[in-house]
């Protein structure tokens, strides 16, 4: 007879609660009669019903109604509004009817009546736009004011840190294209990211295109597809960007049309990742890095000539050698070397200044351009005057202008580098979905004909996807075949696996624990729950905190005030010098009072750039919301973060909030005489606590465990298997008792002590 091994380990873990002692579901069900392979392509399989629910008095009542409805098969979503006595239910008529839902609500103890949903035309739409070229808060304020001045715009938010705008507008009065034109008119480049319409967007790369006629032929073929809204073609990289209605068509249809258009000559695929905001961010980082490198090539020699070589006797004599009248070789070299920095490397500041001043505003570029130009052109005047005079000793500030531009470029490079890192958390969220999915083809009776592994981005609405144990759901959907437990902690924060059977909803990115599931995709791409979470985080990053709004108000007047203060500083020092308001010893030998005053004026102008004032708060909000999202905490904007310092008491609603969600072995006690290493080999063979067992055999890089036969998971209790002809049972106390294994008094005592510690 096979021997029984009692394996008891003290484990600290997140509370899973009392799971049912046996699976709640019968053996694997077949497709319901109401669902067939044909129906997976029928539009409008989802329905919505609104009920008037009387008798609810508090949030607990609403919660009981919601739970009762969600227990029904085929319920996608249920929302109960206790204030208005309403319940809205999204469901699949193949599984459940409106009458069944109404009866369920009444069984929960409330009176329910089906009512017609109040429908109204959508008077507000939201579009998100990426804006390239903003450098400071003054830029974002200019764009925001321009947007708010457009008739039909109800609300406009422009975030400098994310370089995005969120515009709420009336589609009857205004279109997205008009909003983009308005932004372009302010001197910035606008790129539409998304609209409030139910549209999907995808980019496809087409290989085999040799002429523009070929690309036009492909465009015409795609345009003929129902559901395609707009097509944008980039011939340089052979990219086709499409906007489409996901309930009508999808990316697989596009690829088929493209590849059939050229009689096999064209090949289409999903455009490689890295487009959009990330590619723009990387290009911006490269540009600033390249500009900074070129500025160093010229600025370092200018610095050496002006600050170092003048103290080395031999070199100083050579640099002071006069060429024409009083102009020296050193002055000519500084002029020649600083000119490319001023007008080629620093061209971006002239462009930014022109755009800002053209629209009646002043930004950081204006300050930089004014300060460096004042230093550069005064130096040019000084050198030219020395060249035409026999007694004028020139003093130039060429090193000031070139070094200022170099330092500002370094600062901008570090700034865009930091802003790029703040979006890492959002990228991690998006990576929760798997790269591939198993697409099933069904016959009319719902039997599987074939299965194919495809890119998860090619999933279309109403596709049937197979999820094997241990895999992630590639999209949102509902179960049409199979039973399993799914770990939804990435959405809910609760580590207890949720049982799934026919009609239950599955969220994209959640992990299937044991059984095989077939799900019908209902929300794909930007419609998925994960994408909505990402949008929530992005909206939170865009929302302005109260202190940021205050900083934005100040920044409107900041640049003009700085210019006034700069001119006032120069004038005060100049007049003080003329009227001997300070000792002549304060003036360096190489300067006069005018030059000293000019240096002070330039200093005030350049060091007062409002970068930190405008960027500190949004960057802090981005980092806070991004890191929170990666830890499973969603923060709705800067106002919540700003109010957090006032919190003196936090109430958590479940144990899972406070723990890591994974069981960890903290203690091992053997009640029988046995080698600990052998004990853990048997336990690891059952895949129970493999990570901890690896530590016991840490001398081996990839340890091989004994083979386990007749493996049987018991949901909520543990596992059973046979290893080395021994029956192994690993689980909790209830499982040991069910298996009729005696627990000694010493073990009972040890278990009681351990339970008292948790």
Given the residues 18, 584, 653, 699, select the one marked as catalytic: 653
CB atoms closer than 10 angstroms to residue 127: 21
Q: How far is 92 from 46, CA to CA, in rounded Å?
A: 5
What does the DSSP 8-state code read for residue 149?
T
Report the Cα 691 to chain-centroid distance in Å: 31
What does the DSSP 8-state code read for residue 310?
G
Residue 653 is among the residues annotated as catalytic for this protein:
yes
Structure tokens of 152? 């039909």
Report the Cα 276 to chain-centroid distance in Å: 13
Contact status, residue 118 vs residue 112, Cβ threshold 8 Å? no
Q: How far is 121 from 133, CA to CA, in rounded Å?
A: 36
Contact status, residue 465 vs residue 518, Cβ threshold 8 Å? yes
Burial (CB count within 10 angstroms: exposed 0-12, middle 13-18, buried 19+), residue 581:
exposed
Tell me how many degrees the CA angle 62-63-69 measures, rounded to the nearest 5.
Answer: 90
Closest CA to 319 of 310, 311, 345: 310
CB atoms closer than 10 angstroms to residue 504: 23
Closest CA to 27 of 731, 738, 502, 513: 502
Burial (CB count within 10 angstroms: exposed 0-12, middle 13-18, buried 19+), residue 528:
buried
Contact status, residue 438 vs residue 468, Cβ threshold 8 Å? yes
* Coil, strand or helix at 753: helix
End-to-end Cα, the chain, rounded Å: 38
Kindly report the three-state secondary structure assignment for every residue of 129-143.
Answer: EEEECCCCHHHHHHH
Structure tokens of 85? 């006595």
CA atoms within 13 A on the CB side of 387: 11
What does the DSSP 8-state code read for residue 457?
G
Residue with tokens 């799971």: 19
Which residues are registered as beta bridge partners of 156? 167
Q: How far is 111 from 115, CA to CA, in rounded Å?
A: 13
* Residue 161 neighbours by CB under 8 Å, 6+ apart: 419, 422, 541, 615, 618, 619, 621, 622
What does the DSSP 8-state code read for residue 324?
E
- Measured over the CA atoms of residue 380, residue 385, residue 390 and residue 396, the dihedral's sign is negative
Contact status, residue 47 vs residue 91, Cβ threshold 8 Å? yes
Q: How far is 486 from 483, CA to CA, in rounded Å?
A: 10
Report the Cα 34 to chain-centroid distance in Å: 39
Q: How far is 464 from 163, CA to CA, in rounded Å?
A: 38
* Residue 54 neighbours by CB under 8 Å, 6+ apart: 85, 110, 111, 112, 113
Structure tokens of 98? 């409106």
Radius of gyration of the chain from Cα atoms?
35
What does the DSSP 8-state code read for residue 456?
G
What does the DSSP 8-state code read for residue 307?
I
Task: Show the beta-strand stretches assigned E in 72-224.
Answer: 75-81, 86-91, 111-115, 125-132, 153-159, 164-169, 189-194, 200-207
Report the Cα 57 to chain-centroid distance in Å: 39
Q: Phi and psi for 9 in degrees, rounded to 5? A: -130, 140
* Catalytic residue list: 653
């Amino acid at each position: 007879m096979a021997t029984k091994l009692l394996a008891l380990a003290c484990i600290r873990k997140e509370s899973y609660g009392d799971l049912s002692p046996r699976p709640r579901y019968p053996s694997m069900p077949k497709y319901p009669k109401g669902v067939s392979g044909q129906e997976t392509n029928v539009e409008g399989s989802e329905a919505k019903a609104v009920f008037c629910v009387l008798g609810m008095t508090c949030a607990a009542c609403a919660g009981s109604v919601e739970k009762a409805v969600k227990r029904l098969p085929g319920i996608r979503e249920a929302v109960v509004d206790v204030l208005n006595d309403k319940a809205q239910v999204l469901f699949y008529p193949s599984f459940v009817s409106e009458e069944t839902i109404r009866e369920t609500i009444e069984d929960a103890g409330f009176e329910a009546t089906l009512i017609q949903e109040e429908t109204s035309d959508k008077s507000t739409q939201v579009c998100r736009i990426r804006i390239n070229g903003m450098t400071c808060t003054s830029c974002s304020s200019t764009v925001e004011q321009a947007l708010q001045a457009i008739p039909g715009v109800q609300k406009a938010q422009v975030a400098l840190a994310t370089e995005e705008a969120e515009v709420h507008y009336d589609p009857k009065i205004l279109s997205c294209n008009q909003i983009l034109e308005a932004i372009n008119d302010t001197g910035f480049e606008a790129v539409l990211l998304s609209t409030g319409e139910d549209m999907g967007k995808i980019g496809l790369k087409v290989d085999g295109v040799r002429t523009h006629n070929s690309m036009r032929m492909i465009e015409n073929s795609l345009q003929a597809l129902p559901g395609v809204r707009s097509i944008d073609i980039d011939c340089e990289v052979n990219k086709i960007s499409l906007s489409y209605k996901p309930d009508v068509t999808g990316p697989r249809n596009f690829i088929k049309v493209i590849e059939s258009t050229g009689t096999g000559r064209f090949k289409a695929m999903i455009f490689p990742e890295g487009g959009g905001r990330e590619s723009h961010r990387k290009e911006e980082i490269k540009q600033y890095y390249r500009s900074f490198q070129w500025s160093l090539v010229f600025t370092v020699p200018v610095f050496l000539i002006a600050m170092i070589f003048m103290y080395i006797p031999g070199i100083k004599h050579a640099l002071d050698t006069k060429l024409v009248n009083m102009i020296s070789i050193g002055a000519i070299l500084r002029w020649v070397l600083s000119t490319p920095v001023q007008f080629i490397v620093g061209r971006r500041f002239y462009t930014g200044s022109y755009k800002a001043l053209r629209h009646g505003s002043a930004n950081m570029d204006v300050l930089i351009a004014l300060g460096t130009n004042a230093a550069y052109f005064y130096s040019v005047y000084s050198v030219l005057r020395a060249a035409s005079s026999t007694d004028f000793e020139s003093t130039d500030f060429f090193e000031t202008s070139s070094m200022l531009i170099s330092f500002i470029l370094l600062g901008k490079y570090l700034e865009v580098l930091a802003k790029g890192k703040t979006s890492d958390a959002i990228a991690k969220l998006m990576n929760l979905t798997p790269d591939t999915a198993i697409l099933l083809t069904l016959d009319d009776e719902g039997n599987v004909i074939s299965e194919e592994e495809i890119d998860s981005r090619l999933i279309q609405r109403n596709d049937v996807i197979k999820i094997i144990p241990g895999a992630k759901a590639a999209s949102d959907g509902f179960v049409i075949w199979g039973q399993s437990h799914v770990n939804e902690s990435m959405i809910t924060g609760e580590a207890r696996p949720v049982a799934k059977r026919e009609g239950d909803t599955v969220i994209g990115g959640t992990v299937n624990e044991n059984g095989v599931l077939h799900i019908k995709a209902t929300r794909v791409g930007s419609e998925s729950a994960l994408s909505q979470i990402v949008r929530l985080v992005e909206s939170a990053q865009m929302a302005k905190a109260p202190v940021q709004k205050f900083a934005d108000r100040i920044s409107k007047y900041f640049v003009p005030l700085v210019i006034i203060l700069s001119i006032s500083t120069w004038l005060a020092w100049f007049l003080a010098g003329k009227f001997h308001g300070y000792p002549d010893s304060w003036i360096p030998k190489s300067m006069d009072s005018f030059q000293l005053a000019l240096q002070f004026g330039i200093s005030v102008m350049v060091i007062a750039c409002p970068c930190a004032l405008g960027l500190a708060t949004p960057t802090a909000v981005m980092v806070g919301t991004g890191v929170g999202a990666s830890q499973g905490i969603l923060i709705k904007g800067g106002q919540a973060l700003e109010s957090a310092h006032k919190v003196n008491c936090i109430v958590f609603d479940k144990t899972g909030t406070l723990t890591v969600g994974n069981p960890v072995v903290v203690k091992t006690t053997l009640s029988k005489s046995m080698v600990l290493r052998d004990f853990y080999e048997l336990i690891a063979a059952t895949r129970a606590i493999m990570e901890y067992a690896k530590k016991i055999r840490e001398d081996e890089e990839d340890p091989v465990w004994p083979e386990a036969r007749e493996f049987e998971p018991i949901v909520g209790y543990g596992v059973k298997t046979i290893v080395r002809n021994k029956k192994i049972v690993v689980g909790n106390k209830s499982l040991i008792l069910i298996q009729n294994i005696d627990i000694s008094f010493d073990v009972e005592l040890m278990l009681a002590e351990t339970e008292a510690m948790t």
